[in-house]
Structure 1
Amino acid sequence: MAAAFLNQTSKPERLDEKRSEILDFIEQQKQVDRKVVLVTSGGTTVPLESKTVRFIDNFSVGSRGAASTEYFLKKGYAVVFLHRNRSLKPFLRHLSTYNFLDLLELDGENQDAPVKVKSEHQKRLSSILRDYEQVQRDRSLLWVEFQSLSEYLHLLQMCSTCLQGLGKSAMLYLAAAVADFYIPKDQMPEHKIQSAEGPLQLSLQLVPKMLEPLVKEWVPEAFVVSFKLETNKDILVSKSLQALDKYQHQLVIANLLETRKREVKLVTTDNCVDISMTTEELSSGHEIEEKIVRELASLHSKFCSPDGH
C-alpha cells in the first residue's frame, strides 16, 4: 500500500537534486566518521483541492524536532533536518517569541548609524550564534523542507534510502506529526471549493503506514525511533509495544498530549525508561529533549557495537 500511495502522488520538485545534496552530505560525514540522524519535524498538510487554497492541518509546530536537532548536534551527530516549512527551526526557534526588531537598536543618532543587539539580549544571542557558527563550520546540518503529506512521504523515502550506506551508524528520529487521513488525487476537486455549493462533506482515506517499508526495505540496518502520542495514559505503553511488535524497529518515545514537555517514556521490547523534568529544571530553561537525546545516543552506541551491548 505504501508503494501504491507513492506511485499515485506527485513527487516533490527537484527531488533528484535533493537526493544528490543528501548523498554528498552523507559522504562528508563518513569521511570524518560522524554518525548521522534523520530528524523529521513539524506537521503535514492535507490539501482539499489540486490547486490548493484550503487544507487540513494539525497543531504541531516542530518544537520537539527543532530542539532535539540542537542536542543531537551537541552530541556529535550530523543531522538531516526534514522539516515542515514555517515550522520551528534549530537555533532560530529561540527567537520565535520575539519581534525580531525589538532585539535591535541603532548605535547613534545619525542617518547611517550601525545596528546592534540590545545589551539585555547580547549574552543569549551570542551563545546561540556561537553554536550555529560551529555547526556551519562542521557542515553537520542539512535542511530539507516539505509542506504537504505527499511531499513529506516522498522525501522520507528518499532520505531513508540515502542513509542505507551508513548501516547501523544511521538513526531515524521520526518526530513529525504525520496526517492519518488524506484525499486521493482522483477524488480531489481541481479548483477552489465554492461555499455557494453548500455544506462541505469530505470522504478521507487512511494514509498507509510507512514505518513498515522504512524498517524492512528503505533503511533496514538503522536505529529507528518512532513516536506515540496519546491522550489516554492507560493505553500508552501497550500501544507502543504493539507498534514495536508490528514494525520491528528499535524504540518508541511514548508521550501524553498534556505532559509531553515534562515526561516521556522510552519503550523498547524489553524495557521502559521514564524520563521526566522537575519544576526547577523547566523554570531554569532546561528541556526534556536534552535528556531524550542523551539516552538515545547511549542506546545507539550500544546498537552499533559489535555485540550490540
Structure 2
Amino acid sequence: MAEEAAPETPESAAAEGRVRAWAAAQRARGRRVALVTSGGTQVPLEARPVRFLENFSSGRRGAASAERLVAAGYAVCFLHRARSVFPWARALPTGGPALLDLLRVHEAGRSVRVAEGALPALVPALLAYRRAQDQEALLALEFTGLAEYLALLRAAARALAPLGSSAMFYLAAAVSDFYIPPSEMPEHKIQSTDGPLQITMKMVPKMLSPLVKEWAPEAFVISFKLETNPDILIEKSRRALEKYRHQVVIANLLESRRTSVIVVTRDLETRLSLSEDEIAQGLEIEEKIVSHLESRHRDFIQQGSST
C-alpha cells in the first residue's frame, strides 16, 4: 500500500544517500539528529495536474521547532513543503509590499539595504542560520506533492536508522488523509462542462506503522494530532499510541495550537501552555515543546543503553 502511494524514485534514492552521508557525519560529531517534517501536502486530482487538494498548514510549527532543536544541539534534517515557512527566514516578511517597503536602494543602484531598525529580529536569525550552516547542522529536503513527501520520508528514515535511539522523528507536517491512486486519476484536466464533480478518494497509507516497525525501529518518534473537537482529542491521541507503538503524541486544538498543547505518552498527559506574559514577550510554544521532548529523548536514550 505504501509503495502504491509513494513508489521509490531516483530522486528519493539520491536523497537517501545524501541523508545517510550527512547522518554519519553527525554521528561522528556525537550529535543527536532530528528529522522534522513540516508544511502541508498537495494532492493532485489529475495525472497531469491542474487542480489539487491542500490543507491550511503554513509550516510555521515545523520551522520554529527546527530552530529550537538546532539551538538545543541537534542536527536537523528538515523535510519541508516547497514555499512553506523555513527556519530563521521567519524573521522576514512573507513577501509583496511588506518586504519591498523595507528595502532601500543605495550606491546608485549597486546595492540594496534594509531600512534601519526595520527588522530587529533579522540579525540574530541570520547569525543563527549561518552557525547552523557552518556546522552542517541543517539539511533541507523539499517536497510538494503527497507521493514525494511519503517517498522522501521513507528514504530519510532508512538513512537515519543506523543512529538508533539518538534519532528523533518530529512529524509536524500536516499530511493529507485522502488521495487518488495514480491508476484511478483522469489523465487530463477535469472538464467543468461534464457537470458537478464527484470524487472518490482512498485513505493515505499511514507511514507511522512502517516507520516504527521497519524503517527506524529504535528511533524516538513524535507524531502530532490536530482536532477541532476537544472531546475526542485525547482519546484519538491514545488510540494512535496504542496502534502505532511510538513514544509521544503532541495533541492540540485548532484554535489554541499556538499557545497550548498536550504531550500524550502511554503513562502521562502533560499540558504545556504560554502565559499572557510569555505571549507578550514573544515566547513561542515550540520552545516549551522542544525543551520537554529533549528531556524525554535523553531518558529514552538512557533507557535503551541500559537494556
Structure 1 length as normaliser, TM-score? Answer: 0.94
Instruction: Describe the superposition over 1:74-129 as per-residue Cα deviations: whole angstroms up to 9, x where unpaired.
Output: 00000000011111110112213453322221345xx2453222111354221111
1:182 aligns to 2:179 (yes or no): yes
Contact 1:9 1:185 (C-alpha < 8 Å) held by counterparts? no
1:260 aligns to 2:257 (yes or no): yes
Aligned to 2:102: 103
Name the amino acid aligned to 2:46: E
Aligned to 2:298: 301
Q: C-alpha separation between the residues in 2 aligned to 1:266 and 1:172?
A: 15
Provide closer, same or farther for how the CA distance between residues 13 and 84 of structure 1 changes in structure 2, counting only shifts above 3 A.
Answer: farther
Q: C-alpha separation between the residues in 2 aligned to 1:77 and 1:304?
A: 14
Taking the TM superposition and a 5 Å limit, the aligned residue runs for 1:26-65 are 26-65=23-62
| % identical equivalent positions | 49
Contact 2:91 2:119 (C-alpha < 8 Å) held by counterparts? no
Aligned to 1:85: 82
Using the TM superposition, give the Cα deviation of residue 13 of structure 1 relative to its aligned residue in structure 2, in angstroms: 5.2
Q: C-alpha separation between the residues in 2 aligned to 1:224 and 1:233?
A: 24
Contact 2:172 2:223 (C-alpha < 8 Å) held by counterparts? yes
Name the amino acid aligned to 1:139: E
Using the TM superposition, give the Cα deviation of residue 213 of structure 1 relative to its aligned residue in structure 2, in angstroms: 1.1
Greater Cα shift, 72-81 or 278-287: 278-287
Contact 2:5 2:204 (C-alpha < 8 Å) held by counterparts? no
Q: C-alpha separation between the residues in 2 aligned to 1:137 and 1:240?
A: 38
Q: C-alpha separation between the residues in 2 aligned to 1:42 and 1:8?
A: 19
Structure 2 length as normaliser, TM-score? Answer: 0.94
Taking the TM superposition and a 5 Å limit, the aligned residue runs for 1:186-265 are 186-265=183-262
Aligned length: 304
Contact 1:11 1:151 (C-alpha < 8 Å) held by counterparts? no
Q: C-alpha separation between the residues in 2 aligned to 1:73 and 1:134?
A: 10
Using the TM superposition, give the Cα deviation of residue 185 of structure 1 relative to its aligned residue in structure 2, in angstroms: 1.2
2:140 to 134, 138, 143: 143
**Structure 2: where are the runs of 5+ without partners?**
none
Computed over aligned residues only, the root mean square deviation of the Cα atoms, in angstroms, reads 1.6
- Secondary structure of 2:101 counterpart: helix
Q: C-alpha separation between the residues in 2 aligned to 1:308 and 1:288?
A: 31
Provide closer, same or farther for how the CA distance between residues 208 and 8 of structure 1 changes in structure 2, counting only shifts above 3 A.
Answer: closer
- Secondary structure of 1:258 counterpart: helix
Instruction: Describe the superposition over 1:44-82 as per-residue Cα deviations: whole angstroms up to 9, x where unpaired.
Output: 111100001101101111110010000000000000000
Instruction: Describe the superposition over 1:125-166 as per-residue Cα deviations: whole angstroms up to 9, x where unpaired.
Output: 211111111111111000001111111111111111111100
- Secondary structure of 2:87 counterpart: coil
